[in-house]
């Protein structure tokens, strides 16, 4: 049974780099999210894998993998980024199912949180309606209106011995 005081686990995804050395990419993921991180990373194109692999410290990315969001990428590199249908939003989602100021993603001391700002249709986090501020971990899925995203935080890369 996992240690309840430490809600994070690490998962590794092997990958060959250009020198044919095995490189392991380790995500810090939430408790119970290891499968989601693996599935989400596996669904990325090679270009998206490279982009996600090169995230800088204190950054993250929302990647649209399926549906209306497929191909969308939003770099999360600010303290707070507003999600909404308003063209002033940091993450602009042009659909009537998205409120003008639907929600926001905030950087915290420990990572990133998602908050629903009283939107009409809500935000779904790993298939459950968001009812309070919630921490995000690599592999988490967010649905905002008809848009579905996978969240990826900075990856810690190292060579396997």
Distance CA 13, CA 124 (A): 26
CA dist 145 → 31, 43, 126 (Å): 26, 21, 14
Distance CA 104, CA 71 (A): 21
Of 100, 125, 112, give the one whose Cα is nearest residue 154. Answer: 112
**Residue 15 pLDDT:** 38
Query: Rounded mean pLDDT of the chain?
Result: 78
Question: CB neighbours of 45 closer than 8 A, spacing ≥ 6?
Answer: none
**Residue 29 pLDDT:** 44
Confidence of residue 25 (pLDDT cuts 50, 70, 90): very low
Confidence of residue 113 (pLDDT cuts 50, 70, 90): very high
Confidence of residue 35 (pLDDT cuts 50, 70, 90): low
**Residue 129 pLDDT:** 98
**Residue 38 pLDDT:** 64
Confidence of residue 46 (pLDDT cuts 50, 70, 90): confident
């Amino acid at each position: 049974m996992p240690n309840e005081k430490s809600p994070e686990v690490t998962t590794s995804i092997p990958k060959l780099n250009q020198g044919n050395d095995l490189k392991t990419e380790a995500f810090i993921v939430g408790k119970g999210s290891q499968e989601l991180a693996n599935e989400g990373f596996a669904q990325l194109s090679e270009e998206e894998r490279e982009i996600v692999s090169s995230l800088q410290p204190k950054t993250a990315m929302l990647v649209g993998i399926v549906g209306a969001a497929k191909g969308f990428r939003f770099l999360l590199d600010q303290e707070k980024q507003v999600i909404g249908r308003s063209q002033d939003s940091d993450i602009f989602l042009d659909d009537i199912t998205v409120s003008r100021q639907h929600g926001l993603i905030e950087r915290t001391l420990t990572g990133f949180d998602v908050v629903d700002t009283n939107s009409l249709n809500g935000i779904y986090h790993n298939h459950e309606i968001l009812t309070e501020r919630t921490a995000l971990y690599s592999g988490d899925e967010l649905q905002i209106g008809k848009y579905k995203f996978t969240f990826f935080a900075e990856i810690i890369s190292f060579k396997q011995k």
